[in-house]
Structure 1
Amino acid sequence: MNIFHKVALQSLKKNRTRTFVTVIGVVMSAALFTAVATFGTSLLQYLMNGSKLKCGSWHIDFVNVNSDFVQERMEDSEVTDAVLFENIGYALLDGAKSTEKPYLFVAGFTDETFDELPVTLISGRFPQNDTEVILPNHISIKADVRIPVGEPIHIAVGNREESGNILTQHDPYRDGESLNIAEEKKYTVVGVYERAGFEEHDSPGYTAITRTDMVDAKGRYSLFLTLNSPQKANEYGNRFAGSFPYVLNEDVLRFYGVSDNTLFNAVMFAVGGVLIAIIMIGSVFLIYNSFHISLNERVHQFGILMSVGATPRQLKSSVLFEGICIGVLGILPGVAVGIGSVALALPVVEENFATISASDVPLELSVSVPALAAAIAVSFVTIMISAYIPAGKAASVPVMECIRQTGEMKTEAEDVKISGFFCRIYDLEGILALKNFRRNRRRYRSVILSLTLSVVLFVAGSAFGSTLKGIAKELTVELDGDISFYAKEMPKEELLALHDRLKNVDGVSRSTWQSDLIYSGTVEGLPDDFAGGRFREDCNIPVYAQFIEDAVYYDFIERLGFSMEEYYGQDAKVLGLIMDTEEHKVFFTGQEMEFILHSSTGERAKTICTTVVDNYPLDMLPYDSTPQYLFLMVVPWSMNSEFDGLERSSKSGLTFWADAPAQTMARIQSGITDAGVACDYTLINLSSAVELFRSLTFVVDVFTYAFAAMISLIAVANVFNTISTNIRIRRRELAMLRSVGMSEQGFNRMMNFECFFYGLRTLLFGVPIAGIFSWLIYKGMALSEQLEGFAYHFPWKSMTASVLGVFCIVFITMLYATNKIRKENIIDALRDDMV
């Protein structure tokens, strides 16, 4: 260790407080870098595991190969795992509605294939031999073909061909293709499974899975390979592309950086880059300022060293060695703190991540050695940058200027001149504080920037979370129930029978049903100028009728406070609603109006007397399009016979309430399948949107506030370091003021004025910038969700907390520093140079 390194160590030991604060700043900086890297790798691993659960862990699929190729690949040293299924062939699916997906594709799975490829059984059981099959659930939804479990099917199986070439599942349906039948097959349907991830959306066949136990030398297979080096999957496939086409598992490979999806890569690296940039900026403020202050204190010492022959290179080496020492003390503990923080945070947000991704994959800590090495390297580079810049400046100062320290006295009188108006406001103590603030403007700039960054991050994070909560409330406030089933033109008897079957499903706490019909008619009593006169009495309009259970209807009548006798029995009054669906405005509440329904010939067929209300007991079923002006009648089911014989279109539905909607929905889906519902239906989880936004909001809150808190701690350390050290540098100046008669009260007033100037300058920049960021966040999120009526709310609470926080930090730091100065003897402070 040379003499310059010893000087650097002595400086660190002599200024223990500044060294401690700088090391704490490095610890927090390294912890943030590590936390970003560790959470990033944990999240990527979590998403990768979710993709593997959905699509399988394979990397490349050779879609139509022979047994020789299978054997060669299984013996390939570049392959770690291989599974396959037999491409038995295609069969026309009778009654399939989808023209681009007209086939049934039969695949023969081995035991190993069932273990490796994700096949989730919804009902029934897996096939046990080559005469049994399971069918995907989307065959009933997209093809509108329903084959109950236990039913036998007879199909003619063959190959799809075009111009002599065999087509596979990865070749979309083509108009000129032909199906060459090879053999007749008979299977029994023994189960229904959830659509598999290995079947692409544009595949021409619904995959029916049977069981096969051996590799036939004449068979054709789909071979799924897992490679030692996933990054080389494309290169590996290109070797055989001339003879055997292949498909990459991009859902998994993109997490290895192998993806044609440039948007995913851009977002992944952009988010990480922005976070690292913010941390580096905050950290450089602290560490650079610490070294800058240190060198300002030691400039006299540097002048003496240069006067006896020290070179600029040796002085820079001394300062950089100081930076290395601080890095050694702070980086490794920071890495440990970062990993520990993520390990504590993951269990807190794991359940919410499962809701967001709709996956049962656990969110576990994943520590990547390259990611940790990158975090350590970035932390070290940050320290070196922070040390090198002030070291270069100090080494370039002339010797005599260093010894005389004239560089500290370059402020011109005009720069600190104060007008008479401010002199009358501030008094002597305020004038001295303001002059000192202006004289040391460059020195305190990093304090202002650090505090401003903290204010902006805290307010922006708060605005993001509150806006997300507002959007969640806006989108979910109108939902009734947790699960909704609806179907077009479903017979009444079938609907009621299905309700009786599903209301007893495990997990359903309450249920109801409804039937929504659309009639053609008019409404009497509408003002001529309503909606610009577009609804004249001679103009037919769509009139909606919502038929609901009598118990639900009359319970709502009772809650409205209406007389039960007026709304009970044949030809009774019913409830009406007239609403602008775009503006969410209701009209004519409390008035009585007649809804006149017409027959198919346009004649008056039935007149319904309604009492117009501003609400309805149960959400209507969704339609492909809803008119701007909705005319709705809410009718008890007991009156439905009065509407028979009128031309109308209908949609029927069931609504369920459940404590665990996701699990209950799976049981309901199984019950619908077992019931053999023949019409086209939709089953949706209404509560998923609510849970998604709640979970997303919670996750955002945890990480934005944690990130803002860590950055704020770095800013606090910077403020403490800068203010306390600069107060110590001014110990002679402050002692001189006290020696000429400045009272304790006057001294306190001067210090308080300085605190006020720091806080005011911070808020002068921080509040407008934070307000602009909060508005931009609101605008971007409102536009993305297409919420035109969603109002902006200024973040008063977070802004107020930021203002109070800024002044508290500055005042507490100043109080700590000045208390140490007060304890010193005035004569000693005037006599000694800065230690």
Structure 2
Amino acid sequence: MNIVNKLTVRHLKENKRRTLVTIIGVIISVAMVMAVATLGVSFMDLLQRQSIATDGEWHVQYENVDSDQIEAIESDESTKTLILANDVGYAKLDEAKNESKPYLFIKEYNEQGFKNFPIEISEGRLPQEDNEIVLSEEVAGNAKVKHGIGDQLTLNVGERQMEGVERPFSQNDPLQTDVEGASESLENQNTRTYTIVGIIKRPTWEPAWAPGYTAISYVDQSLMNSKDTVDAVVVLDKVKRSLYEHAETLAKQNNIENVSFNDELLRYYGVTDNDNLLTTMLLLTGIIMSVIIIGSVALIYNAFAISVSERSRHLGMLASVGATKRQKQTSVFFEGAIIGLISIPIGILAGFAGIVATFMFINSFIEGALGGTEKLQVVVTPLSILVACGISIITIFISSYMPARKASKISAIDAIRQTQDIKLSGKTVKTSKLIRKLFGIEAEIGLKNLKRNKRRYQVTVFSLVISIILFLSVSYFTSNLEKSLELSQQNINFDIQVWGSGADEGDLEPYTRLKNVTKSSIMKELNVNTYVARDAIPEALEENVQQDESILKDGKYPYYTVIHGLDEQSFQDYAKKVGVDAEKLKDSDNPTGIVIENISYMDQETGQFKETKSIKTQIGESIDLYKMNYETEEETLMNKVEVGALTDKVPMGVNTAGIGGIDVIVSKETMNQLIDKDVQEDVQTYLYMNSSDPMETQEAIEDEKGTNLNVYNVVQNRQRDKQMILFMSVFTYGFISLISLISIANIFNTISTSISLRKREFAMLKSVGMTPKGFNKMMNYESIFYGMKAILYGIPISIAIMFLMYLSFRSTFVYGFTLPWMSLLFVIIAIFIIVGSAMFYSIKKLEKNNIVDTLKQENV
């Protein structure tokens, strides 16, 4: 180690406080980068494991393939694991108790399928031959004829079909019913005999509303003839974006008609075939990482800049004894290297420990609140450590580069005179006379101090500006992430839906009193048509008109309108939520309703999620309702409904209409006014419920004898949506916490050091008669000047970055740009509080200093 480096180490040891502050700053920066990288990897890992636990591990599915095609798929270089699956069909369950689940649904897997799909044996074993079968535990409780292990089961297996529908129904389609009962039948039946070898728990991938209980058999590839077809389900060796094109090419080469992808699981690997979504992800990642690096550079740069300022006399003396520019520059880089060697390992461990503590805290919450089967696990990859180290090293280098250049230019005479930071002229410190008149001489002195110490003033303002940008950028990113998630999610706001052909309010009302039901709403729905004036349609529909004006009828655009009639209590609650008087919407002579004006939809051409107004209307205008006579294909004016309120809030059970549709919420009395005998049979009645135990509530409904109702339990979908929102909230708000921490540390560090370096200046002011009250007043005005200047620069720059983020989101999600006014107000207040606190803390530390002793000090 040469003499200059030895002196650098000695300087670090002698200035323990400054060295410690710098090391802590770098540790915070490294910990933040490490935490962000680990958070991202760990969340993706959790979502992958949760998807696999619920729906099985697979990536690509080739449908209806024969033995030759299976061989081609298996030999493909991208195939890691091949699973054979086959939907055999449906068979009538002997004397089923539950009329909405009258079938067994028989599915076949090969041995690999039993491993990759979540099938849990509760008794017996899994099938090993094609004439063996396992039944769900639910079958025993819902079939009058009991079946046990070892019993023979002869079934007539076929497809669910209904007249007028070309395709057979699947497990995702509930039982088709009418007033007389089931309106579907089993066709193309063939007889199969199985031996029951085990009992399984109800599979997690079986929809709650499915009409068939899952039964699983074995598919033996060796017994397949040339005409037999199955589904080939593939786990890929490497998951990468090219898999979509590769699978389509493989299918085309082997004459395979249908290929599907496990989009949910692939999305959690960061792979999507949606170019807009990929663009959005890359742009946002770039913006956020830039914000992180800028924040880190700002913090560490200030630490090094202040260190060089303190060392200026020391570096000047080195220059006086022959130290070259290169040696002085190398001294600063060497200081950065020492601090990096100490700080980076500690920062990585601190970031890791912080994530471990965070996950320990939220794991119990996730499990208790959402019933998730998987827990968050801290996943640290070599790449995330390398990224954290690489960004930190680059950050330290950038942060020390400018101070190093400055150090190389310090001459001996300038360093001894201490003239490099303060260069005075009358013009430099000139202030407006208005400042003294309005705020007094203390404000004028404070402003002159800032102008005189211009370099330190700029560093402090820069720190504040960076803090504002960091907080507002991440805050806007968080709110827009949640907004985008809302647009892309199904927005299911109920646990259970119950309906049935011919069922009315009287049939459904008793179920609202079942145990565990926490909230319920009975709703009547009627679909009718309306026509909207061209100037009242949104821009997306105007584009359609410009392309083809024949869409218009008498100059108006055809719309469909869904009238939702709520029960009395639900309507009262909804009107209160919207902020209108429910009684004013119950005019017996003038039907009035609440129109949901803001909707979101996915543009099929661009793949973008868009937000728009359903209709451009105003309170007091009327919407004409037309009914269609399908026999004569004529429309007649049925009634009209007045717009009593406009809102973006939706009641329980309502999914907003798509583009070209309107949702109108009315009371029970208004609904009865709108319904006439011609549309009576078109009205459908639904019951929506939230329950503390949805599965038990569903069973209670299904156990009611003589019911002919459909039960749709969406708890799994709803939990998944909640889980996604929670994960993103933890990630983004955790990020905001880290950003806030680094920003506050940055501000305190900069201001406290700046104040510390001005000890002699403050001592001089006190020595010429400035009172403690005047001194405090001067410092308060300095705080205000700091805050005002930071806000003047920080907020416009932040708004520009927000707009860039908005443009990034707009690649996939289209909605209007709005400023986060509450965040802007918060950051303005917070800046003045933090600056004031930092000033107060720093000044309190100087109060005990003796004026004479302080004036004698050459440097601090």
Query: Could you say which TM-score interval applies, normalised by the shorter chain?
Result: 0.5 to 0.7
Corresponding residue for residue 715 of structure 1: 743
Q: CA contact under 8 A between 1:755 and 1:811: conserved in structure 2?
A: yes
Give the Cα separation in 2 of the matches to 1:299 and 1:752.
Answer: 30
Task: Answer whether contact 2:86 2:109 (CA < 8 A) is retained.
Answer: no
Question: Relative to structure 2, which stretch is displaced further, 60-69 or 32-41?
Answer: 60-69
Q: Is the 8 A contact 2:277 2:811 kept in 1?
A: no
2:401 aligned partner, one-letter code: Y
The structure-2 alpha-carbon separation of the partners of 1:586 and 1:269, relative to structure 1 and needing over 3 Å to count, comes to closer
| 1:619 CA drift (Å) | 8.1
Q: Say which SS state the counterpart of residue 417 (structure 1) adopts.
A: coil
| Aligned equivalent of 2:786 | 758
Q: Hey, what does 2:407 align to over in structure 1?
A: 394
The aligned amino acid for 2:14 is K
Map residues 765-804 of structure 1 onto 2, 5 A cutoff: 765-766=793-794, 795=821, 799=824, 801-804=826-829
1:675 Cα deviation after fit: 6.4
Q: Does 1:577 align with 2:591?
A: yes
> Can you list the C-alpha shifts for 1:177-221, whole angstroms capped at 9, x where unaligned?
xxxxxxx655899999989699xxxxxxx9998623643255465
Shift of 1:116: 1.9
5 Å matches for 1:453-472?
Answer: 453-458=466-471
Q: Residues 268 and 207 from structure 1, CA distance in 2 versus in 1: closer, same or farther, beyond 3 angstroms? A: farther
Contact map agreement 1:755 1:807 (CA 8 A) in 2: yes
How many Å separate the matches in 1 of 2:379 and 2:21? 31
1:303 aligned residue: 316
2:217 to 188, 211, 232: 211
- Paired residue type of 1:84: I
Query: Does the aligned pair in 2 maintain the 1:515–1:650 contact within 8 Å?
Result: no
CA contact (8 A) 2:336 2:400 kept: yes
Q: In terms of mean alpha carbon deviation, does 346-355 or 701-710 score higher?
A: 346-355
| Corresponding position of 2:685 | 653
What does 1:500-515 align with in structure 2 at a 5 Å threshold? 507-508=516-517
Greater mean deviation of Cα atoms: 696-705 or 331-340: 696-705
Match of 1:421 among 410, 434, 437: 434
Q: How does 1:658-737 map to 2 (within 5 A)?
A: 658-660=690-692, 663=695, 667=699, 683=712, 702-737=730-765
Residue-by-residue CA offset, 1:135-187 (whole Å, 9 max, x unaligned): 899637759768999x995637xxxxxxxxxxxxxxxxxxxxxxxxxxx6558
2:167 maps to 1:139: no
Q: CA deviation at 1:513?
A: 5.3
Contact 1:315–1:391, Cα closer than 8 Å, also in 2: yes
- Is the alpha carbon distance of 1:781 and 1:506 closer, same or farther for their aligned partners in structure 2, counting shifts above 3 Å? farther
Question: 2 CA distance for matches of 1:772 and 1:78?
Answer: 44
Specify whether residues 45 and 673 from structure 1 end up closer, same or farther in structure 2 by C-alpha distance, changes over 3 A only. farther
Q: Deviations over 1:563-610 (max 9, x none)?
A: xxxx9xxxxx9897323636798879xxxxxxxxx9x99xxxxx99x9
Shift of 1:255: 4.8
Q: CA deviation at 1:252?
A: 4.0
- Residue by residue, what CA displacement relative to the aligned partner does 1:451-507 show, whole Å, maximum 9, x if unpaired? 23434554566678789999999999x9997543446xx2358x966x499668774
Deviation of residue 326 (structure 1)? 1.6
Q: State the distance in 1 between where 2:79 and 2:482 align.
A: 48
Contact 2:86/2:219, CA 8 A, preserved across alignment: no
Q: What whole-Å deviation, never above 9, does each CA across 1:239-268 have from its counterpart, x for those lacking one? A: 998569687756545555665444444444
Report deviation, 1:744.
3.9
Structure 1 residues 486 and 188: alpha-carbon distance in aligned structure 2, compared to 1, 3 A threshold: farther
Q: Which moved further from structure 2: 819-828 or 575-584? A: 575-584
Distance, in Å, in 1 between the alignment partners of 2:38 and 2:687 is 43
Counterpart in the other structure of 1:84: 83
Structure 2 Cα separation of the partners of residues 554 and 771 of structure 1 = 40
Letter aligned with residue 775 of structure 2: F
Scaled by the length of structure 1, the TM-score of the pair is: 0.67
Match of 2:836 in 1: 811
Q: Any idea what SS the aligned residue of 1:416 has? A: coil
Contact 1:401 1:407 in 2 (8 A): yes
1:25-104 mapped onto 2 (5 Å cutoff): 25-53=25-53, 55-59=55-59, 64=65, 66=67, 82-85=81-84
Amino acid at match of 2:837: I
Partner residue, 2:351: 338
Q: Which amino acid in 2 is paired with 1:22?
A: T
- In structure 1, give the amino acid aligned to 2:36: V
In structure 2, the CA distance between the partners of 1:579 and 1:67, relative to structure 1 (3 Å rule), is closer
Residues 519 and 29 of structure 1: is their aligned pair in 2 closer, same or farther, counting only changes over 3 Å?
Answer: closer
Q: How many pairs were matched up?
A: 729
In 1, Cα distance between equivalents of 2:87 and 2:482: 51
Amino acid at match of 1:362: K
Pairwise CA RMSD: 6.4
Separation (CA, whole Å) in 1 of partners of 2:836 and 2:191: 85
Quickly say closer, same or farther: Cα 1:65–1:656, change in 2 above 3 A. Answer: closer
Q: Does structure 1 residue 452 correspond to structure 2 residue 484? A: no
Q: Which runs of 5+ in 2 are unaligned?
A: 91-103, 121-135, 141-146, 161-167, 530-559, 575-580, 598-616, 622-628, 633-637
Give, in whole Å, the separation in 1 of the partners of 2:264 and 2:716: 27
* Deviations, residues 514-563 of structure 1 (Å, cap 9, x unaligned): 6566899xxxxxxxxxxxxxxxxxxxxx999999999999999xxx999x
Give the conservation status (yes or no) of the 8 Å contact 1:110–1:213: yes
Cα distance change, pair 112–209 in 1 and its aligned pair in 2 (3 A): farther
Which of 336, 359, 371 is matched with 1:323 structurally? 336
Question: What does 1:465-480 correspond to in 2, within 5 Å?
Answer: none
Deviation per residue, 1:675-700 (Å, 9 max, x gap): 676xxx794759988x8998777666
Superposition deviation, residue 828 in structure 1: 3.8
Conserved in 1, the CA contact under 8 Å of 2:70 and 2:232?
A: no
Residue 491 of structure 1 is matched in structure 2 by 502
After TM superposition, list the pairs within 5 Å mapping 1:423-438 onto structure 2.
423-438=436-451
Are residues 585 and 270 of structure 1, via their aligned partners in 2, closer, same or farther at CA, if it must alter by over 3 Å?
closer
CA displacement 1:332-382 (0-9 Å, x = unmatched): 232222223223333555688789999654333322232122112212221
Tell whether 2:154 aligns with 1:155: no
Q: Distance in 2 between matches of 1:473 and 1:112?
A: 37
* Amino acid of the structure 2 residue aligned with 1:657: M
Q: Tell me how far 1:398 sits from its aligned partner.
A: 4.5
Change (3 A) 1:755 1:586: closer
In the TM superposition, residue 39 of structure 1 has moved relative to its aligned partner by 0.7
Q: Secondary structure at the match of 2:685?
A: strand
Rounded Cα–Cα distance in structure 1 between residues aligned with 2:761 and 2:844: 15
Name the CA shift for 1:672/1:55 in 2 (closer, same or farther; >3 Å). Answer: farther
* Partner SS, residue 684 of structure 2: strand
Q: Equivalent pairs: percent with the same residue? A: 26
Q: Distance in 2 between matches of 1:395 and 1:802?
A: 38
Rounded to whole Å, the distance in 2 between the matches of 1:404 and 1:23 is 30
1:313 corresponds to: 326
1:303: Cα distance to partner? Answer: 2.7
Q: Which amino acid letter does the alignment assign opposite residue 188 of structure 2?
A: I
Aligned ranges for residues 171-190 of structure 1 at < 5 Å? 186=192
- How far apart, CA to CA, are the structure 1 residues paired with 2:747 and 2:589? 66
C-alpha separation in 2, matches of 1:676 and 1:582: 32
My pick for the range that moved more, 759-768 or 326-335, is: 759-768
Asked if the contact 2:240/2:271 (under 8 Å) is kept, the reply is yes
Counterpart residue number, 1:14: 14
- Distance, in Å, in 1 between the alignment partners of 2:775 and 2:317 is 35
What displacement does 1:433 show? 2.0
C-alpha contact 2:46 2:377 (8 A) present in aligned 1: yes
In the TM superposition, 1:604-619 aligns within 5 A as: none
TM-score, structure 2 as length reference:
0.65
Match of 2:502, as an amino acid? P
Alpha carbons of structure 1 residues 79 and 555: separation in structure 2 relative to 1, 3 Å: closer
CA shift for structure 1 position 746: 3.8
2:34 aligns to what SS in structure 1?
A: helix
Cα distance, 1:708 vs. partner? Answer: 3.1
Between the aligned partners of 2:573 and 2:274, the Cα distance in structure 1 is 54
Q: After TM superposition, give the deviation of residue 288 of structure 1 in Å.
A: 0.8
| Contact 1:433/1:751, CA 8 A, preserved across alignment | yes
Distance of aligned partners of 1:432 and 1:634 in 2 relative to their CA distance in 1, 3 Å threshold: closer
Structure 1's unaligned 5+ residue stretches are 92-103, 157-183, 199-205, 521-541, 568-572, 589-597, 602-606
